[in-house]
Amino acid sequence: MSNVFLSLKDIRKSFGGVHALNGVDLEIRRGEIHCLAGENGSGKSTLIKIISGIYKPDKGQILIEGDPVQSLTPKSSIDAGIQVIYQDFAIFPNLSVAENISINHSVLTGAKRMNWTEARSLAAEAMSRIGADLDPEVLVENLSVANKQMVAICRAIINDAKLLILDEPTASLTAKEVDALNEIIKNLRNKNMAIMIVNHKIDEIFNIAEQITVLRNGEKISSGPASGYTRRSFIRDLTGREITETTYEPEKSDEEIFRVEKLTRHGEFSDISFEIRKGDVLGITGLLGSGRGAVGDALFGVAPATEGKIFLNGEEIEIRSIDDAIKYKIGYVPEDRLTQGLFLNRSIQENTTAASLKKYFIRGKVDEKIMLNDTIEWIRTIGCNAKDAEAPIRTLSGGNAQKMVIAKWLNTSPRILILNGPTVGVDIGAKADIHRFLHGLAKDGVGIIIISDDLAELIQNCNRIIVMHDGKAVRTVDTKDVDETSLSKMLSD
């Protein structure tokens, strides 16, 4: 057990009477990749902040390399070799790659002068260690998310890091970038570094983790080698309930709801054709920039198609604007719910009824009472965990807020519902609720289109998947004929 780098014993922390962590043990070894998994609110971030010295635990013991540590401050944590890469990377968009990588070092050594030569050589050394190849002079604001992450990793490892903690490192990476990141992580692991990854995407965890610890409601539910977990046991530990992962198989039907022929928007996508029959859930996937999102935008009139035909229940319709789309009862759950899907500071009620206000305009005034009743009804139906319909919607967690975005469109009684990345940032429990709900809708004859790069989600929920590449539909597959690996291959080919 000599290679245990960090061990936490019976860590407790509460905020104003709420137990964020309730007696958590954790052991992290050198040369091992440890995944800390947990849903939103499970205490993951509190635990990281304790390890990085930002929070002081109320109770418990911290040992670094076997020695008990009395009090950990941000500085002493870094001195001990602990480096955290946060989700937003904490890098400087206005500074060059070289300066971003070296700045930590310069600050910690207490240098008074800025040594540009040293900065460049430190950056070059760090980049060669992880196999990154970026122009050291370029400003970080010009970099992609994946490359910004490289910069953050480079910065972390130049300070003799012994434990590298990555907080949801794959949140905004494409599948290819995730693979590249995993290579880097394994490489660092081989150099005897301890790695802790915080994540809640099952497939990624199973891909890389050697050791897994699951937290739920501030408690450690289980911990052990990754080989000791099955997907099923992992999900049970994570959510505290049995969620079965099944694929979706609708009853066969000949009733066509929606058809699109040779839909084209110049410069974005071309010749997209598909049909949706009753019960169908259609998936559209592709890498970032493949045009998958643009198809959704076109069908909802955000950026209308320039050519092609759209049929709703066999009748040709034209969608030139969002108004048209709403007129034909098409609903759209956009990719970024925070900026496009919600009025964050307005109440749940106002958000839920925002797309169907006309309904409540009775005899010259808005009937708030029916609005409230409908909202409460939706909160119940869709399984949103909200105490009060009048609370601002920003008080809801990601999963609950997303449920209300969907409820907003359901309140318009849509015939077609298009969802772009419906469960991004939503935890597994809420995700399963949303999926179940969508299947119910499909059964009732609502045409559902899910646009996503979460392949596992598509395979579980759609019966047909269109794979897009460079604005074209390169493949259309029946879900039962593919698995995640083969689908992922189609994406990048």
Partner 1 sequence: MNAKIKQKLLSNEAIVVYIILLLALIIGAVNPTFISPATGINLLRTMLVTLIFALSEMIVIVSGGIDVSFPAVSCLTMIATIKFLLATGIDSVPITYGIGILIGATFGALNAFLITIIKIPPLIATLGVSSLTSGATLAFLGTKIYTDLPEKIDTMHRISIFSYTNPAGNEYSMTALILIPAILCVLIHLMLRHTMIGRGMYAIGGDIQAAHVVGFNVAKTRFFTYILSGILAGTGAITYMILMRVADPKVLMGEEMMVIAAVVIGGTRITGGHGTVIGTILGVALLALVKNNLIILGVPTHFQTFVVGMIIVFGTSITSIRAKRIAEQAKI
Contact residues: partner 1, CB under 8 A: 74-75, 78, 86, 88-95, 99, 103-104, 106-108, 111-114, 116, 138, 141-145, 147
Query: Closest distance between partner 1 and the C-beta of residue 178, in Å?
Result: 17
Closest CA to 135 of 101, 180, 182: 101
Alpha carbons 3 and 28: distance in angstroms, whole number: 9
Closest CA to 438 of 326, 333, 340, 310: 333
State which residue, 170 or 352, has the beta carbon closest to partner 1.
170
State which residue, 91 or 127, has the beta carbon closest to partner 1.
91
Q: CA dihedral in degrees (54, 130, 26, 220; nearest 10)? A: 90
Query: Closest distance between partner 1 and the C-beta of residue 88, in Å?
Result: 8
Alpha carbons 194 and 188: distance in angstroms, whole number: 8
The answer to whether the CB of 153 falls within 8 A of the CB of 89 is: no
Report the Cα 114 to chain-centroid distance in Å: 38
The answer to whether the CB of 239 falls within 8 A of the CB of 217 is: no
Query: Closest distance between partner 1 and the C-beta of residue 135, in Å?
Result: 8
Query: Closest distance between partner 1 and the C-beta of residue 104, in Å?
Result: 5
- In the block, tokens 């909160």 appear at 379
State which residue, 99 or 280, has the beta carbon closest to partner 1.
99
Query: Closest distance between partner 1 and the C-beta of residue 372, in Å?
Result: 37
Query: Closest distance between partner 1 and the C-beta of residue 75, in Å?
Result: 7
Q: How many CA atoms lie within 13 A of 158 on its CB side?
A: 28
State which residue, 91 or 451, has the beta carbon closest to partner 1.
91
State which residue, 111 or 391, has the beta carbon closest to partner 1.
111
State which residue, 114 or 391, has the beta carbon closest to partner 1.
114
- Look up residue 437 and give its two tokens: 């709900």
The answer to whether the CB of 239 falls within 8 A of the CB of 78 is: no
In angstroms, what CA-CA distances link 3 with 31, 70, 191? 8, 21, 13
Query: Closest distance between partner 1 and the C-beta of residue 431, in Å?
Result: 29
State which residue, 68 or 74, has the beta carbon closest to partner 1.
74
CB atoms within 10 A of CB 228: 12
